[in-house]
Amino acid sequence: TQLLEQSPQFLSIQEGENLTVYCNSSSVFSSLQWYRQEPGEGPVLLVTVVTGGEVKKLKRLTFQFGDARKDSSLHITAAQPGDTGLYLCAGAKTSYDKVIFGPGTSLSVIP
Amino acid sequence: NAGVTQTPKFRILKIGQSMTLQCTQDMNHNYMYWYRQDPGMGLKLIYYSVGAGITDKGEVPNGYNVSRSTTEDFPLRLELAAPSQTSVYFCASSSLRDRRTNYGYTFGSGTRLTVV
């Protein structure tokens, strides 16, 4: 059973379009992280959100943590081919718990 | 600053063979982890360590062993390789965690293992 679900599983869009990917759970998390993984490489941390309702921006990427701390979203504005990759969300139920990972959203941005 | 280094990058094993996947980090991180990644399944935790001399099982430990004799190194041993162990293996590390700060894992670039 996946404690963290991600949707959509695959997404293919044209350069310049906007998109949102989602990370959902029935459990409450003390924090959620988003990683991007490029082919042949390990995941790279993009952001950590820890407060319900928190919004963080990283250039064209906007991350939001749900008010109930059970879900998160990643919005990309004006997607570029360099945004192509696997986006993983990961969460910990407490500060001392091991982090668990969702299955990922595979994004392809076509020039 | 090398971060987390994994070797080898690729390996093909025959059923029943053994091998050790190497992982070393130069960030003086206390925590180290081994994950396997299968298509559509995310990352599954195999073993982890909270410091030298201390290891514990994760979600999918069967068929694997680990040791942590130093802070820097955390090798993963596969005994009697099976086709089900075909996967991409990632080592990661992290410092002591504080939920008020942006903590996260630093990953190596992975080892792609095929068992035939």
How confident is chain A (111 residues) per 10-residue block, as mean pLDDT?
86 97 94 93 92 94 96 97 96 78 95 95
Chosen for mutation from A99, A100, A105 (greatest number of chain B CBs closer than 10 Å) is A99
Q: Provide the shortest C-alpha distance from residue A62 to chain B (in Å).
A: 16
Cβ distance A40 to B110 less than 8 Å, yes or no, reads yes
Residues of A in contact with B58 (CB under 8 A): 98
Residues of B in contact with A98 (CB under 8 A): 33, 45, 48, 58
SS3 per-residue string spanning B58-97: CCCCCCEEECCCCCCECCEEECCCCHHHCEEEEEEEECCC
pLDDT in tens, B60-115: 999 999 999 999 999 999 999 999 999 999 999 988 764 445 568 899 999 999 99
| Torsion angle, alpha carbons of B8, B46, A34, A67, to 10 | 180
Q: For residues A107 and A87, is the Cβ–Cβ distance under 8 A?
A: yes
Q: Are strands A105-110 and B43-51 parallel, antiparallel or unpaired?
A: unpaired
Residues of A in contact with B41 (CB under 8 A): 103
**Dist CA A42 CA A45 (whole Å):** 10
Residues of B in contact with A101 (CB under 8 A): 35, 42-44
| Confidence bin at B1 (pLDDT 50/70/90) | low
Q: Are strands B10-13 and B111-115 parallel, antiparallel or unpaired?
A: parallel
